[in-house]
Chain A
Amino acid sequence: GENVEQHPSTLSVQEGDSAVIKCTYSDSASNYFPWYKQELGKRPQLIIDIRSNVGEKKDQRIAVTLNKTAKHFSLHITETQPEDSAVYFCAATYGSSNTGKLIFGQGTTLQVKP
């Protein structure tokens, strides 16, 4: 089946703290996992992605980890800032990344308090 579960649905942190969002997927053939940030009324913006041949990827304050055996992947944001406040979506390909179809999680609303 095709399903991506995302937790938590809401997350509130103090500025400077870290935030972690977790996703699990059901399709063992999935091999591409992007993360999107969506501000209110705006487009989803790709912030980081990872392919199944690596376990971790980092880009400044953002990192993603992947555990293919357990079929879960996580987004880590360090030193959070108020401008990080948004809805974050994880996604996984349904099948290999050649299929084009992304299955999205339900989203996590992150609030960073100044």
Chain B
Amino acid sequence: NAGVMQNPRHLVRRRGQEARLRCSPMKGHSHVYWYRQLPEEGLKFMVYLQKENIIDESGMPKERFSAEFPKEGPSILRIQQVVRGDSAAYFCASSPAKRTGALGPQHFGDGTRLSIL
């Protein structure tokens, strides 16, 4: 059973360009989460999605950032007009849903290291 797959592992962009980060959840997982990690810091929640729905985007910057999880294909985190401060590791996690309604444990992918020149 493949784990959470993220690509690319490393992404370099110049200021003003767009960055697209992809995440395929573990098989059987229908919940996806995106987190950002700055060097030597903890993970900061950005957004929680289910198929075709954004459930909680309270950690997403209001401008330039968007996320989607379409019916078919991976979840995408999109950053438009990138700035130096966007340089970070972006981790995706996925979890199953339980019969009780509670969410299962979140398992992380290897992350995308985004560098802005």
Contact = CB atoms under 8 A, between A and B. Distances in A.
Contacts of B45: 94, 101-104
B69 interface: no
A105 B45 CA distance: 12
A97 B41 contact: no
Given A42-B110, A43-B108, A101 B102 contact: no
B110 A43 contact: yes
A100 B95 contact: yes
Given A32-B102, A98-B101, A105-B42, A45 B48 contact: no
B42 A43 contact: no
Contacts of A49: 105
A44 interface: yes
A7 B42 CA distance: 13
Interface residues of B, number: 26
Given A106-B41, A107-B42, A101 B108 contact: no
Interface string B99-117: 0011101111111000000
Contacts of A34: 105-106
Contact of B31 (A42, A44, A96, A100): A100
Contact of A106 (B31, B42, B56, B107): B42
Interface string B38-77: 0011111100100000011011000000000000000000
